[in-house]
Amino acid sequence: MFKIENEFKSANISRTVRFTEQLFERLNKTAVENDISFNLLVLQCCKYALDNTNNTPKQ
Contact, 31 vs 19, CB < 8 A?
no
pLDDT given at position 54? 82
Q: What are the residues whose beta carbons fall under 8 Å from the beta carbon of 17, sequence distance 6 or more?
A: 42
Q: What is the DSSP secondary structure assignment for residue 57, as one 8-state letter? A: P
- Are the beta carbons of 31 and 37 closer than 8 angstroms? yes
pLDDT in tens, 3-59: 666 677 778 899 999 999 999 999 999 999 999 999 999 999 999 999 998 876 666
pLDDT given for residue 19 in this prediction: 97
Q: Tell me the domain boundaries of the chain.
A: 21-51
Alpha carbon distance 34, 40 (integer Å): 11
Give pTM, 2 decimals: 0.77
Residue in 14, 18, 41, 44 with CA at minimum distance from that of residue 28: 41
